Structures are given as C-alpha cells and as structure tokens.
Amino acid sequence: MNKLLPGFSEGFPVALRVWLVFLLCLVLLGYSVPFSIVVGAVGGIAGGWVVAWWNSKDKPKEAPSEPQDEPEEAPVKLSGLALAKQRRDARARKRSQKSSVPLTGLFNRSK
C-alpha cells in the first residue's frame, strides 16, 4: 500500500481511528453495518491521506539549469555624435509622452 500512497505509513494509525469513529457513528445513527464499514473505510483512508500529506516534508524542486550556448551580448557603448543623438531622441520621446496627455500641466504652479 505504501507504493500506491507514498508516505501513508505515517497516517495509517490515524486512518484506523477515523474509520472506527465513522463506523460507530454511522451504526449509532441507524445505517446498516456494511454501509457503515464501506463509508467509514473511505473516510478513514481520506483522513489518513490528509494527515500523511500534512506531515510530509517536501523539498523545493530545483529548476534544471539550461546551458547557454551563446554568450549574452554586451550593451554597445556609444560616444560622440551617436550618444548625443540618442540623448536627443530620448528627450523628444519624453516630451511627446508628456504632451500627449491633455491637461497635465494645467494645475501646476509656475515658479
């Protein structure tokens, strides 16, 4: 049974107790004995399984590391005119984003 439900050996005593409690309660409530045995066994197995799961010590699974075939490209360093053009374009984009939203500067105080 341990192959079907790994870790169930810790919950087995609890499963027997839960089965007995279900069996006695169902018989006292007036259900037939075979029905009480079957339903009690199902309840006992479920209870033992939950206890075994609760007491299990799971280790976090490590993601397999993938080997990188190609080295990552280093960012290109700009200088001179190319750097100036990049900065100018960034300022233009920033200005166009600000001006695209209407009434953004309407309530700002000017110093």
Instruction: Please tell me the predicted confidence (pLDDT) of residue 79.
Output: 73
Domains in the chain, number: 1
Q: What is the pLDDT of residues 11-58, one digit of tens each?
A: 788 889 999 999 999 999 999 999 999 999 999 999 888 888 887 777
Q: How many other CB atoms are found less than 10 A from the CB of residue 15?
A: 22
Q: Is residue 48 a part of any domain in this protein?
A: yes
Q: Is residue 77 a part of any domain in this protein?
A: no
What is the extent of the structural domain holding 49?
A: 8-55
Element spanning 33, H or E: helix 33-55
- Kindly tell me if the per-residue pLDDT of 106 is higher than 80: no
Q: Is residue 13 a part of any domain in this protein?
A: yes
The percentage of the chain sitting over the pLDDT mark of 70, rounded to a whole number, equals: 62
